[in-house]
Amino acid sequence: MTVTSTPAPTALITGASRGLGAAIARELAATHELLLGARTADALAPILAELPGATGWPVALTDYPAVATAAESIGRLDVLVHNAGIADLGTVVESSVEQWRSTLEVNLIAVAELTRILLPALRAANGHVVLINSGAGLRANAGWASYAASKFGLRAFADALRLEEPTLRVTSIFPGRIDTDMQRAIVADERRDYRPEEFLTPETVAGAVRTAVDTPRDGHPTEIVLRPR
């Protein structure tokens, strides 16, 4: 009798070089073939050394011709985790047109375009799209207008994609503030002491991604909201 093994599912994680993206990669490494995205190969070197079974996928997500070329070899994709993003904060009066454009470009438009390009591969696998949103995607605070607008838009994109692509699962994850290098920069701008215990750990949020991905196929986890205790 010939026994054929089922290949491991494939997951592409953007922004995987450090912080939350690296934590998600570690969480999925045992069960998935990983494609790890970042802007440069050098940025990916540490996580690829840690997870030698993973494959680097270095491309700037706002370079759309380069993204299309990089995606050509992906014929089937079980999980797409949109984690890459920026937080360039400021009040409305302080925020320039360039800041609004760059925030929306990275946090929303690049997500939509990468998803569009990979839809054939996702459809082939009846795949799962996981979008790392933010508490700012549920409410807007003073000084966070452009960032919140990008995250509100990301939620709308997920809701529309879920309706348009009924063979896919689409999960928006709304974490509170996470203990990462990005968070340290934000707190420094707020001119207060950094206290890691105030924030979620990357591992906790990565665990929520794992929970969504592992949900049996008869269930569709549409939204997960996490807050620091």
State the Cα angle at 130 between 79 and 127, rounded to 5°.
35
The enclosing domain of 65 has a CATH number of 3.40.50.720
58-67, 81-90, 175-184, 217-226: least confidently modelled range: 175-184
14 lies in some domain: yes
Return the bridge partners of 36, or none: 13, 56
Q: What is the pLDDT of residue 61?
A: 98
63 lies in some domain: yes
Q: What is the pLDDT of residue 191?
A: 78
Does the pTM surpass 0.75? The reply is: yes
Calculate helix-pair angle for 97-104, 145-164, nearest 10 degrees.
Answer: 30
Q: Which residue has the tokens 């452009």?
A: 146
30 lies in some domain: yes
Q: Which residue has the tokens 């707020």?
A: 190
Q: What is the pLDDT of residue 45?
A: 98
Q: State the amino acid at position 133 in one-letter form.
A: N
Range of the domain at 114: 10-218
Q: Which residue has the tokens 């592409």?
A: 12
Total structural domains in the chain? Answer: 1
**pLDDT tens figures, 36-61:** 999 999 999 999 999 999 999 999 99
24 lies in some domain: yes
Q: What is the pLDDT of residue 116?
A: 98
**Sign of CA pseudo-dihedral 35, 38, 43, 47:** negative
The total number of residues written for the chain in this structure: 229
Q: What is the pLDDT of residue 181?
A: 75
Query: What secondary structure does DSSP assign to 135-150, as a single string?
Result: GGGT---TTBHHHHHH
**pLDDT tens figures, 106-125:** 999 999 999 999 999 999 99
Two tokens at 216? 């049996």
User: Mean of the per-residue pLDDT values for the chain?
Assistant: 94
195 lies in some domain: yes
Model confidence band, residue 134 (pLDDT cutoffs 50, 70, 90): very high
Model confidence band, residue 98 (pLDDT cutoffs 50, 70, 90): very high
225 lies in some domain: no
**pLDDT tens figures, 177-219:** 888 777 787 877 777 888 878 889 999 999 999 999 999 999 9
C-alpha to C-alpha distance for 16 and 23, rounded to whole angstroms: 8
Q: What is the pLDDT of residue 112?
A: 98
Two tokens at 156? 């709308």
Q: Do 34 and 13 form a contact (C-beta atoms < 8 A)? A: yes
From the CB of residue 31, how many other CB atoms can be counted at a distance below 10 Å?
Answer: 14
1 lies in some domain: no
Tell me the H-state helices in the chain: 19-28, 41-50, 64-71, 97-104, 110-124, 145-164, 181-189, 202-214
Q: Which residue has the tokens 């990983």?
A: 34
Active site residues: 147
4 lies in some domain: no
